[in-house]
Amino acid sequence: MNFKNFTVPELAQLISPSSEVFQELKKRGILRTHNVVGELGEHYAIEFYNSTPSLPGLSIADITVKNIDAISRNGETYSIKTVSSKNRTTGSFWDPESIENNEKKFQYLLIVVLNDAFSLEKILELTWDDFFEYKKYNKRMQNYNISITKKLIKNVNVVYEK
């Protein structure tokens, strides 16, 4: 296909919820909302953990559960954030007051890094203490996020790297 001749709405239709690709990913249980990048990251992380004997098996958390995306067989809670190789900052962690009071929202944070083709590049595993150390406050949004830096990568558990 020559995409150069497509209008923006025609290109958007190829990735819209009505597209065949979106519908197939939904049938496979990979997509549950319209957050394609985030849910691909969750899928990659859970699939990797479940196929690696040295890591705990994970199950996807119910979509209504706040702050938790997966649960291990032992009941450990995981938040999963996905970033692209160009955007080196995670999405938001809300409820800054409880975070400042060190009220654990999860036990582990998995940061999934995808390349431009939405393939898995890296998975970082942070404990709550790691998260607490590396979190940065976004004054404008009144939330926290984490920047993927060389220092962070050096000091946390890199469970997968392409």
Helix axes 8-15, 20-27, angle to 10 degrees: 20
pTM: 0.88
What's the DSSP call for residue 89?
B
Residue spans per domain, the chain: 1-31, 37-161
pLDDT of residue 124: 98
How many CB atoms are located within 10 Å of the residue 83 CB? 24
In DSSP notation, 96-135 reads: HHHHHTT--S-SEEEEEEE-TTS-EEEEEEEEHHHHHHH-
pLDDT score of 71: 97
Q: Is the pLDDT of residue 113 over 90?
A: yes
pLDDT band of 9, cuts 50, 70, 90? confident
What are 31-74's pLDDT values in tens digits?
888 888 899 999 999 999 999 999 999 999 998 888 999 999 99
C-alpha to C-alpha distance for 119 and 134, rounded to whole angstroms: 25
| Class at the top of the CATH hierarchy for domain 37-161 | alpha beta
